[in-house]
Structure 1
């Protein structure tokens, strides 16, 4: 968790795309009993998973080219703090790193992984995806999705994989450092749309930025994650008339 104890930051750290606190007493999964088709029926807190109109993830098709503001990342290295929360591997990021877009600054709270990528591009999934979760001054969330494909080493992913927790649901603070900037591709072109959290309670009003250019990671690292989580991706959701924009 971030050191800062403000309610908004703690809210984002707990909420993001893997809201463990509220979901602790509710069994949900990615397959079988408690799977995505049942999320909206598990409890009233999760009803948005069924009745929401701007749910994530989506299959990105027919994006409209637009003059969009640049994503200005200001990520700083920090102490590696991570947790296997029972649904993914998550890195909790110290305060001070941010994303600025359209004059609005969003604080980086955490990032985590899905296999395969939850987002699809023209029907195609990628091997994995990293979701970098940020919170704005109004408490709303912005998530940057970095698509991951097998093919090479990445320093940030190497740091995480070398320090994978041995216990679930217990934060591990290591003496290693992590720099989320190393997760980003050189080309910061992106797709953007309104969406939701991709796990219960599927809360909406989340702004998504899916980077067009994938980043490489090692095949062995994908296999290692697969031993922990064979599949932890929610199926794509209906657009329901949403507009998807893309940088030119």
Structure 2
């Protein structure tokens, strides 16, 4: 039964397209999240989808089967940019940055930040959430979500920020050696569910891995990102779960 549930969850994770910026959207005013579905026909799923992200994680299914996730992020990121919605770090087109789930390889495309967190855990919201976006050869997406809480400074964030330029769409190469593993929690217990992109076009079929345990950044580091956003939020509100199974592993 447990293996069946796991398989059904995996089957729900079909192909999802990347966020489309042809039509302007945002997080405030008439282009905010509650209006996304009406901004464009391409964005209709933002209003009508039944497996949307983020969610409030609660009432999980405890799996006794082992479903280890192997993360090999060995290659240095390529560049960093403020794209108007978030700070995004783009990965090199390489097979040296990969996540392996049940024998399937997903390759890191980029990671970015949301403040405050989009997913919540038993109603708890964190000041920051990092999304590592990975895709397999067929374009199916797996997102690793890492919560960030206020605490000890993170040295990798300091090195990333050294190369960052706050002007919109000004891409800067990464010059420091970044240990991406240090942006992941050391304890790798997680929640898993099928969801969507949290930005337009809100495509569904995204496999979500949300780590239980947060990493830390200092208050100054968190505020560096918030300052770029003019201290406005860039998180989509929690969406209805609609009976989806959330596996706790």
Q: Distance in 2 between matches of 1:60 and 1:151?
A: 23
Q: Is 1:56 matched with 2:49?
A: no
Question: Is residue 240 of structure 2 the alignment partner of residue 238 of structure 1?
Answer: yes
Q: Is the 8 A contact 1:187 1:213 kept in 2?
A: yes
Check if 1:215 corresponds to 2:197. no
User: Hey, what's the Cα distance between the residues in 1 that align with 2:237 and 2:66?
Assistant: 28
Q: Classify the secondary structure of the residue corresponding to 2:30.
A: coil
Unaligned ranges ≥5, structure 1: 1-10
Match of 1:45 among 20, 35, 42: 42
Structure 2 residue aligned with 1:107: 107
- TM-score normalized with structure 2 length: 0.88
Tell me the residue number matched to 1:23. 21
CA distance in 1, matches of 2:187, 2:76: 24
CA distance in 1, matches of 2:26, 2:197: 15
**Contact 1:80 1:177 (C-alpha < 8 Å) held by counterparts:** no
Q: Residue deviations 1:111-154, cap 9 Å, x none? A: 00000110100111011010000001221000000100010122
Matched, 1:70 2:72: no
Residues 1-248 of structure 1: pairs in structure 2 closer than 5 A: 16=18, 19=19, 22-24=20-22, 26-66=23-63, 67-94=65-92, 95=94, 96-229=96-229, 230-247=232-249
**1:228 CA drift (Å):** 1.4
Once superposed, what is the RMSD of the aligned Cα atoms?
Answer: 1.6
- Deviation of 1:178 after TM superposition, in Å, equals 2.1
- Tell me if structure 1 keeps the 8 A contact 2:108–2:132: yes
Aligned partners of 2:195 and 2:185: how far apart in 1? 23
Structure 1 length as normaliser, TM-score? 0.89
- Paired residue secondary structure (1:175): coil
Whether contact under 8 Å (1:79, 1:176) holds in the other structure is no
User: Take 2:166 and 2:227, find their aligned partners in 1: how far apart are those partners?
Assistant: 13
2:163–2:175: 8 Å Cα contact kept in structure 1?
Answer: no
Distance in 2 (CA, whole Å) between partners of 1:156 and 1:225 is 14
* DSSP 3-state at the match of 1:153: coil
Deviations 1:63-106 (A, max 9, x none): 11112411100111415411100000000011220001111110
Which range is displaced more, 230-239 or 63-72?
Answer: 63-72
Q: CA deviation at 1:110?
A: 0.6
Residues matched between the structures, number: 230
Bigger mean CA offset, 81-90 vs 174-183:
174-183
Residue 156 of structure 1: how far off its partner (Å): 2.0
SS in 2 for 1:226: helix
